[in-house]
């Protein structure tokens, strides 16, 4: 996903030679070079998120359908943004009170954004994703293939090939070069 986001690419790390990914000049429209992060990572701040939300909105992204996907370290950073006004909720009589220690929704100037943790993405990145701008494309549709039988056990293999399809990369965003500890 990160190599497809070219328009709304925000590098916060400094040092080295950070560079945005580039697209192929040919007719295939595939990424040609990967992004290069800076060498000195920077802590994720609310200002970074605001800048990237504005960039995605300016390029036509529908902010109310976007979510921010971050690794566990940067999910904690979002929960610590100073813009969070209260950390409590109304508790009905006779119910146990809850302590709120996380922010799962961010209300920006351009719309409401959900914050989603993802343990499988690079920790040093935050992605702004509009699900309508992405799809799964099947290169080979699902097939079931019978395998050798062992006793009473019947074995089957499910075979398919699929990939990520980016419908419009301008409705997506990424913040790169974030700290990972």
pLDDT at 83: 65
- Dig out the tokens for 74 from the structure: 């940067």
Q: Tens of pLDDT along 37-49? A: 777 888 999 999 9
How far apart are alpha carbons 106 and 117 in whole angstroms? 14
DSSP secondary structure string for all residues of 51-117: HHHHHHHHTT--GGG-EEEE-HHHHHHHHT-TT---------TTS---------EEEETTEEEEEEE
- Dig out the tokens for 1 from the structure: 């996903």
The pTM of the full predicted model, rounded to 2 decimals, is 0.79
Contact 103, 162 (CB under 8 A): no
Backbone angles phi, psi at 148, to 5 degrees: -60, 140
Q: Among 40-49, 80-89, 101-110, whose mean pLDDT is lowest?
A: 80-89
Q: Tens of pLDDT along 145-178? A: 999 988 999 999 999 999 999 898 889 999 999 9
């Amino acid at each position: 996903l990160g190599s497809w986001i070219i328009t709304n690419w925000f590098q916060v790390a400094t040092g080295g030679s950070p560079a945005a990914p580039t697209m192929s000049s040919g007719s295939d429209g595939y990424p040609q070079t990967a992004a290069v992060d800076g060498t000195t990572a920077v802590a994720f701040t609310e200002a970074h998120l605001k800048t990237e939300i504005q960039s995605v909105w300016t390029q036509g992204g529908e902010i109310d359908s976007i979510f921010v996907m971050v690794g566990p370290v940067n999910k904690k950073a979002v929960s610590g943004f100073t813009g969070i006004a209260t950390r409590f909720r109304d508790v009905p009589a006779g119910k146990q009170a809850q302590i709120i220690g996380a922010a799962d929704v961010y209300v920006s100037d351009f719309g409401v954004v959900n914050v989603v943790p993802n343990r499988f993405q690079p920790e040093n990145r935050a992605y702004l994703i509009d699900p309508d701008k992405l799809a799964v494309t099947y290169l080979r549709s699902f097939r079931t293939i019978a395998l050798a039988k062992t006793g009473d056990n019947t074995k089957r293999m499910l075979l398919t090939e699929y990939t990520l399809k980016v419908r419009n990369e301008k409705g997506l965003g990424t913040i790169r070069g974030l700290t990972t500890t």
